[in-house]
Amino acid sequence: MMQSALRPAAPEEASTLRTLNAFAVDLISIPNVDDLFWYVARNVVGQLKFIDCVIYQANPEQTMLTQVAALGEKNPYGRTILNPLQIPFGHGITGQVAQTREAVVIEDLLRDKNYIADTQPARSEICVPLIFDDRIVGVIDSEHPEPGAFGAAELEVLITVAAMTSAKLELLAESERSHRRYTDLVQSHAQLTQETNNRKSLEAELANARKLEAIGRLTGGFAHSFNNLLTVISGNLDLAEEEQSEAVLKELFGDAKDAASRGAKLIKDMLAFSQRMHLVPERLSLNDLVARTRDRNGHRLSNEINLELAQDLWDVSVDPIAAEVALGNLILNARDAMPSGGIIRITTDNVTYGIGDTKAPSQEIAPGRYVRLRVIDEGTGIASHVLPRIYDPFYTTKPIGEGTGLGLSMVMGFMQQSKGTVVAQTENPHGTTFELYFPATVDETGLVGN
């Protein structure tokens, strides 16, 4: 139903500007599209003395307009629209405006072929499109019961309102896109956090399983080796109780004593592996230690040992006895890798690694100065599937009775306790090189000593 009263005189310019200024200020705080449409219908178009206003919103497919806000007798139910009117694009005056994207002023609707009469026909109509991002988002429409009610002034005002409304719609759309992006980022972060936590949990479980496996293997190997030694000792003591010959008794006690010594060495190797061995470091030259170790082990080897010792070698601070035992283990390991004989080379040199140095052979080597000791054999090398396990305690590829599997694990434990590391490099079947990295000793002036 349309009001029958005549349209009041054109609003004063000052009043119109005040309404538009208030609209511009309030636009900032309007939170959503629904509130915007109702605000425009009531607080803007209504304040500009239009007696009727209907706002339509276009669907995403750009095919249909749906009534979303209204002012006047067409909507007596506040912000509740019963049976909102729907108009296809191109149908009627409003649909034509949506399709052509051009504002229109109809002075006499009875003479317009596109006019669809209401229960109480209007006589004049003004209709402007809402456009942003090259899309029709809606239409603002106003009717009047008298012909010629709208002119150029009303059209200019309503086009301004439509432009401000479209600009706010674009801001709201961008805000919605930003909110969706933020929500997606929050969800992605939460998912990533959950995945990270799950991975850490799995890694912790895997590490714990590996730890339990290592402990089981370690205790099992230790128990087996130590039980063998105790069997030797107790067996010889049992025999000694019944033996009368002094020579035989001496041999039995000698075997028991030898087994006890091997038990002591087993304990010592275990302590070295666990980095709990009592070390007494001394400042020394590895060249002297290498020469001394070769002399002490030479009688046990049929292999030739060649020394390539660097001049002006930096000093290191290590326990000489433990270092000699570690080097001796590597020499014996090199010998066992060459059952048909071959040359063992032992070299020393000074090396320096900086931060992010790609030449460092291991990530465990911190930036700094080191003395490198290498033991090189001409054996068959180490198989790729064996290499990751060579430092595991009691792991050995030797036949039963020919090794405890503690030699290399003791070397690793000793080097780590000495703030260094050991690196194995192998080219199967072209031999293996074990590299020991000892931190160089720095004197009180900050210079490396030699």
Tens digit of pLDDT for each residue in 271-284?
555 545 667 899 99
**What average pLDDT does range 141-162 have in this prediction?**
89
Angstrom distance (rounded) from CA 436 to CA 420 = 7
**What average pLDDT does range 422-442 have in this prediction?**
86
What residue type is assigned to position 196 of the chain? T
Three-state DSSP at 56 gives strand
Tell the residue number behind the tokens 């030694």, with chain if given.
229
Q: Which pLDDT band, with edges at 50, 70 and 90, does 119 fall under?
A: low
Angstrom distance (rounded) from CA 250 to CA 260 = 15
pLDDT of residue 3: 39
pLDDT of residue 404: 47
Note whether 40 and 162 are within 8 A (CB). Answer: no
DSSP states along 374-427: EEE--S----TTTGGGTTSTT---SPTTS--S-HHHHHHHHHHHTT-EEEEEE-
* 220-223 contacts, C-beta under 8 A, 24 or more apart: 220/394, 221/393, 221/394, 221/404, 221/405, 222/266, 222/270, 222/393, 222/394
Q: Which residue has the higher pLDDT, 114 or 447?
A: 114
Edge-to-edge strands of the sheet including 104-106?
86-88, 64-71, 53-58, 135-144, 124-132, 104-106
pLDDT of residue 297: 76
pLDDT of residue 21: 86
Domains of the chain in start order, with CATH, are 13-181 (3.30.450.40), 201-273 (1.10.287.130), 282-439 (3.30.565.10)
pLDDT digit string, tens, across residues 177-192: 888 888 888 888 888 8
Closest to 440 in 3D by CA, of 351, 308, 320, 311: 351
Angstrom distance (rounded) from CA 357 to CA 98 = 68
Q: Which pLDDT band, with edges at 50, 70 and 90, does 18 fall under?
A: confident
Closest to 420 in 3D by CA, of 355, 348, 368, 356: 368
Claim: this prediction has a pTM higher than 0.75: no
Q: Which residue has the higher pLDDT, 75 or 375?
A: 375
Closest to 229 in 3D by CA, of 184, 269, 187, 186: 269
Percentage of the chain lying above the pLDDT 70 cut: 74
**What average pLDDT does range 76-86 have in this prediction?**
77
Three-state DSSP at 357 gives coil
Q: Which pLDDT band, with edges at 50, 70 and 90, does 9 fall under?
A: very low
Q: Looking at the predicted structure, is the pLDDT value of residue 446 above 70?
A: no
* 15-22 contacts, C-beta under 8 A, 24 or more apart: 16/48, 16/157, 19/44, 19/47, 19/48, 20/44, 20/157, 20/160, 20/161, 20/164
Torsions phi, psi for 338 (to 5 deg): -125, 70
Cα R_g (the chain), whole angstroms: 47
The pairing of beta strand 64-71 with beta strand 421-426: unpaired
Closest to 327 in 3D by CA, of 234, 262, 420, 257: 420
- Among 32-36, 206-210, 320-324, 383-387, the minimum mean pLDDT is found in 206-210
pLDDT digit string, tens, across residues 287-332: 999 999 888 877 667 778 899 999 999 999 999 988 988 898 888 8
Q: Looking at the predicted structure, is the pLDDT value of residue 125 above 70?
A: yes
Q: Which residue has the higher pLDDT, 383 or 55?
A: 55
Closest to 55 in 3D by CA, of 42, 73, 37: 37
**What average pLDDT does range 407-436 have in this prediction?**
84
66 Cα distance to chain centroid = 48
**What average pLDDT does range 140-153 have in this prediction?**
89
Q: Which pLDDT band, with edges at 50, 70 and 90, does 400 fall under?
A: very low
Q: Looking at the predicted structure, is the pLDDT value of residue 20 above 60?
A: yes
Angstrom distance (rounded) from CA 246 to CA 248 = 5
Q: Which pLDDT band, with edges at 50, 70 and 90, does 226 fall under?
A: low
Q: Looking at the predicted structure, is the pLDDT value of residue 364 above 60?
A: yes
Q: Looking at the predicted structure, is the pLDDT value of residue 346 above 80?
A: yes
